[in-house]
Amino acid sequence: MIDIFPIVRPFLYALSPETAHNVALRALSCDLLPPQKLVVHPELSQNIFGLNFKNPIGLAAGFDKNAAAVNPLLRQGFAFVEAGTVTPLAQDGNPKPRMFRLSEDRAIINRLGFNNKGLEYYIKNFSKRDKSIGITGANIGKNKDSESASDDYVKGLNAVYPYADYITINISSPNTKGLRDLQQREALSQLLTEIMKARDQAKQQHNKNVPILLKIAPDIDETQRADIAENVIKHDVDGLIISNTTISRPTSLRSEYKNETGGLSGAPLLELSTPVISEIYKLTSGKIPIIGVGGVSSAEDAYAKIRAGASLVQIYSALIYQGFKLVRDINDNLPKLLARDGFSHISEAMGTL
């Protein structure tokens, strides 16, 4: 397989991070990037949420907010791609510059603010996906000026339900004012009541069951983690995505952009997000499948998420520094790590930390 990333990286790095992202997304949507081979190892294949994942590596939300390049992204070797976050109405997001490349730290800070073209445009794109290539999830959020968060999430759920393999409720971005307040015990219970009610109605209407996942922040204390675990069990949420970006700033950061406002992602997030997976895996007795995300840039990092309790793993920021070849590298090396530790299947390694 040809890896063109080392060739195009100098050009991309000469651009601002957001411009470089848009160029890459445009190239993908025009099928200008050569596809990567889908890695299939029997010991990595799983059925999670009633869906067959050929490998455990997916693309996190945020890369393709408008579902403009779902099929080309799936051809980069991902078992699944999550498109969004999409809000009911189009919105520009926060003022620019709002994305910063912390190269010395292999990290990114963004304060994009759910910039997207709205549900109508999103569905037009999403509905064209090729279901035979891989699994695609829809990540939904609320508009920044919305008076009712639950109304926005219900609108999003109803719009994407006929097309998505799973739906993620994003209540953890730090860049929409008040959004993370929805993680609080009572607010979350009320929101999940409305969402699961809408899901039950959509299930009957479309005669299909679409799993509902909840994406949470890493910046939550022990009480909040316990409350979230209790709520997802109480409301029969199908899965969790742990975690979104962090508003904390490790003292090890070296980049000149380290104090920019926004969510920090990339390598420094690994040590913060992985313990949250482990704790919530234990709080839910391993009964709620978890997608681990945050700081994964190697097979060893992905394996750490799995050992902590994740069934699947998503990546994003590391692609900015390593390109799509990383997907194949992780999937090719995970079986070696499993064999090293005496596991014959990925499911045996989950939650064994």
- Report the greatest alpha carbon distance in the chain: 53
Q: CB–CB of 263/179 below 8 Å?
A: no
Name the catalytic one among 173, 243, 278, 317: 173
148 is catalytic: no
For the chain, how big is the Rg over CA atoms in Å? 19
**Count of CB atoms situated within 10 Å of the CB of 43:** 16
> Token pair of 248, please?
């904390």
Q: Fill in the DSSP letter of residue 269.
A: G
Q: Fill in the DSSP letter of residue 71.
A: H
**Residue 160: HSE in the Cβ half-sphere, 13 Å Cα cutoff:** 37
Which residue stretches of 115-178 are H helix? 118-126, 149-160
82 phi/psi in degrees, rounded to 5: -110, 115
- Rounded to an integer, what distance in angstroms lies between the CA atom of residue 166 and that of residue 64? 16
Cβ neighbors of 25 (< 8 A, separation 6 or more) are: 63, 64, 68, 69
Enzyme catalytic residues = 173
